[in-house]
């Protein structure tokens, strides 16, 4: 078990470009979560999946953001037409249903220039 893996670790993109991040959860975990952390703040919940079903989306997740977990394993988070305000650390976590806590990955740091 290698924990939760996120790729890439860092991404620099120009404003207006699309970016996609990947998260590989712990293999037996059926729940997967995305959080966003801006500088000097705690993480904020964005969305979560149980298996391949997206169960909840935060109001923070504008229509430029889309997340998928097509086979109930890895997940992708895509941001279209990036804006400078999207610059943040994007954290993924996974857990087992009814576990009540989970494991975080090391995050993808996005910088929009």
Partner 1 sequence: AQSVTQPDIHITVSEGASLELRCNYSYGATPYLFWYVQSPGQGLQLLLKYFSGDTLVQGIKGFEAEFKRSQSSFNLRKPSVHWSDAAEYFCAVGPRDSSYKLIFGSGTRLLVRP
Is 36 a binding residue for partner 1 by CB under 8 A? The answer is no
104 forms part of the interface with partner 1 (CB under 8 A): yes
Tell me whether residue 39 or residue 63 sits nearer to partner 1 (CB atom).
39
CA distance 80 to 64: 5
How far apart are alpha carbons 22 and 76 in whole angstroms? 5
Q: Which of 19, 91, 110, 112: binder of partner 1 (CB under 8 A)?
A: 91
Q: How far is CA 90 from the centre of its chain?
A: 5
* Cβ nearer to partner 1, comparing 54 with 80: 54
- Our finding on whether 45 is near partner 1 (CB under 8 A) is yes
Q: Is residue 47 within 8 Å of 36, Cβ to Cβ?
A: no
């Amino acid at each position: 078990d290698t924990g939760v893996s996120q790729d890439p670790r860092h991404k620099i993109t120009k404003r207006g470009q699309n970016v996609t991040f990947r998260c590989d959860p712990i293999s037996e975990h059926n729940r997967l979560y995305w959080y966003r952390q801006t500088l000097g703040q705690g993480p904020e919940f964005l969305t979560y999946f149980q298996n391949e079903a997206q169960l909840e989306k935060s109001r923070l997740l504008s229509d430029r953001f889309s997340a998928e977990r097509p086979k109930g394993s890895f997940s992708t988070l895509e941001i279209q037409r990036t804006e400078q305000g999207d610059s943040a650390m994007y954290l993924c976590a996974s857990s087992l249903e009814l576990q009540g806590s989970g494991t975080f990955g090391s995050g993808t740091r996005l910088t929009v220039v």
